[in-house]
Amino acid sequence: MATRRITQETFDAVVRENTEEFDMEESEALKEAIEQFESQGVDLSYIVKAVPKVCSEENTEDQTHKVLQALESLKAAVASSSASVLEDLRVFTQQCSLGFAQRYLAAQKEAYPTILACCQRAAGEKEALSVALAALSALTDGQPDLLDVEGREFLIGALTAHQTDAALSCVCFRVVRHCCLKHENNRQGLVKSGVLPLLTASITRHIEHPEVVREACVALRVMTFDDDVRVPFGHAHEHAKMIALEHNGLKVIVEAAKAHPENTAVLSELCATLSRLAVRNEFCQDIVDLGGLTFMITLLADSLDRQELVKQVLSALKAIAGNDDVKDSIVNGGGAELIVMAMNRHMANAQVCEQGCAALCVLALRKPNNCKVIMECGGALAALQAMKTHPAEVSVQVKPSVRCLACISRCVYSKRLTLHLRFMHKPIELQEQ
């Protein structure tokens, strides 16, 4: 695993040396530099792997990367209050969208203060603000550390002032998402500043706009993550409870799902968010009472061919099945049969198999009658076939599949249970423990 790091200047110097001293073509010099550093275990994910270009015709020796050229042009336009600021922002956004290395290099050259200043200047002009926020979104993608207190206050202010504007809200939500991924302090800071009611209210207000619903939903889900390794204890659980209890998040999401029955992208995000919010027994029952379970069962039945959506629905069913009463509701509604059908339909997909086995495992836990239903509809066979199909996938082999079979073996009969199934050409025997 690569752990060594170099600067962009070092990399560019080697490329230049290859072209000037070894008379290589630019493409060959670049390839040689990449191979040289990678062979030494250098991490090049932060490096723009391109040959610097000439900045101007007047000075052919002045070379730099296009993203830095765009940044310098933007800084000059801002300093002179030029009318080209918007166009420069668009060019900069385009360059940042090329890859993380471009964004990282721009951030090293003080791009964040410049972009934030553009956002603040454009606060009263919707078109200019939208362009500036798009640049901020592109720059912070993968770099949440860039956001400071001033930037956080600006985001909350922009969301509050433009709540009725769907397009602007959508861009703001994207910035919030980028700044909160793998950054617990930003999450907590934005939650304390009031971002949660702004997100849930926007879903209800713009429920007919699928892109706004999806972006707001993703931002809500990110607030429930615990993915910042720098923080020993996050507030993921607390944030999920706040969304559900204080901001009526469960009802908001279920209603949004019903409003977009044919939009796979939106439904996938909504189901993924529901699974993150089902952190308490009563929340699982609330989702059922709101009609969420009926909707998910129908959705799974109608969407068996849509792999990504199937995976997210299975994840949501697994989450709400943490409630024992909901387990029975899922099985009585035909959920076990549909889960097995989904697994058999997408057996080649390890993630679908993992979520399917995990859902069956939760349904079987402490429920002998459910285990019988799972056995009768081929759940044990599907779990074993998933293990056979994905022998190298630990996520399929160890936890969901084995636990699923173990739950069935303990609950189906009061006596010893022997499954005469062939797995790896050998019979498998599971005993009650």
Q: Residue 47 — pLDDT band, cuts 50, 70, 90?
A: very high
Q: Is 312 among the domain residues?
A: yes
Q: What CA–CA distance (Å, rounded) separates 347 from 335?
A: 18
Calpha distance 354→389 (Å, rounded) = 12
**Full-model pTM:** 0.89
Residue 264 tokens read as 């796979």
pLDDT at 398: 65
User: Which residues face 429 on adjacent strands?
Assistant: 418
Whether the predicted pLDDT of 1 surpasses 90: no
**Is residue 328 included in any domain, yes or no?**
yes
How many of the other CB atoms lie within 10 Å of CB of 97? 14
Q: Residue 82 has what pLDDT? A: 83
Burial of 132 (C-beta count, 10 Å sphere; 0-12/13-18/19+): buried
Q: In angstroms, rounded to a whole number, what is the distance separating the alpha carbons of residues 145 and 162?
A: 25
When pLDDT is averaged across residues 187-205 and rounded to a whole number, the result is 97
> pLDDT grade, residue 61 (50/70/90)?
low
- Tell whether 177 is covered by a domain: no
Q: How far is CA 292 from the centre of its chain?
A: 22
CATH code assigned at 336: 1.25.10.10
pLDDT of residue 402: 59
For residue 384, the model assigns a pLDDT of 87
Residue 198 lies in a domain: no
Q: What is the chain's mean pLDDT, rounded?
A: 90
Q: What is the pLDDT of residues 254-284, one digit of tens each?
A: 999 999 999 999 999 999 999 999 999 999 9
- Quick one: pLDDT band at residue 433, thresholds 50, 70, 90? very low
Tell whether 214 is covered by a domain: no
Per-residue pLDDT, averaged over 209-238, amounts to 96
Average pLDDT (3-21) is 92
Q: Minimum mean pLDDT among 83-87, 315-319, 401-405: which range?
A: 401-405
Assess whether pLDDT exceeds 60 at residue 360: yes
Name, in order, each residue with C-beta under 8 angstroms of 410's C-beta and a sequence gap of 6 or more. Answer: 432, 433
Cβ burial, residue 81 (10 Å; 0-12/13-18/19+):
exposed
Size (the chain), residues: 433
Residue 40 within a domain: yes
Burial 323-358 (b: 16+ CB within 10 A, else e): beebbebbbebbbbbbbbbbbbebbebbbbbbbbbb
The pLDDT assigned to 409 comes to: 60
Could you report the per-residue pLDDT of 93-139, keeping only the tens digit for each? Answer: 999 999 999 999 999 999 999 999 999 999 889 999 999 999 999 99
Give φ, ψ of 327 to 5 degrees.
Answer: -50, -50
* Cα–Cα distance for residue pair 182/264, rounded to 1 Å: 26
- Choose one of 34, 54, 74: the last residue of a domain: 54
> 231-262: per-residue pLDDT in tens?
999 999 999 999 999 999 999 999 999 999 99
Domain count, the chain: 2
Range of the domain at 14: 8-54
| pLDDT over 50 at 305, yes or no | yes
Q: Is residue 151 part of a domain?
A: no
- Indicate whether 5 pLDDT > 80: yes
Q: Would you say residue 417 lies in a domain?
A: yes
Q: How far apart are CA 103 and CA 139, in angstroms?
A: 5
pLDDT band at 412 (very low <50, low <70, confident <90, very high): low
Lowest mean pLDDT across 107-116, 196-205, 355-364, 384-393: 384-393
- What whole-number distance in Å separates Cα of residue 86 and Cα of residue 142? 24
Res. 346 pLDDT band, cuts 50 70 90: very high
Q: What is the mean pLDDT of residues 200-218?
A: 97
Phi-psi group of 393: left, alpha or beta (phi > 0 → left; psi -120 to 50 → alpha; rest → beta):
beta
Q: What is the pLDDT of residue 327?
A: 97
The answer on pLDDT for 59 being more than 70 is no
Residue 228: C-alpha distances to residues 103, 234, 238, 311, 373 (Å):
21, 8, 16, 25, 40
Asked whether the predicted pLDDT for residue 314 surpasses 60, the reply is yes
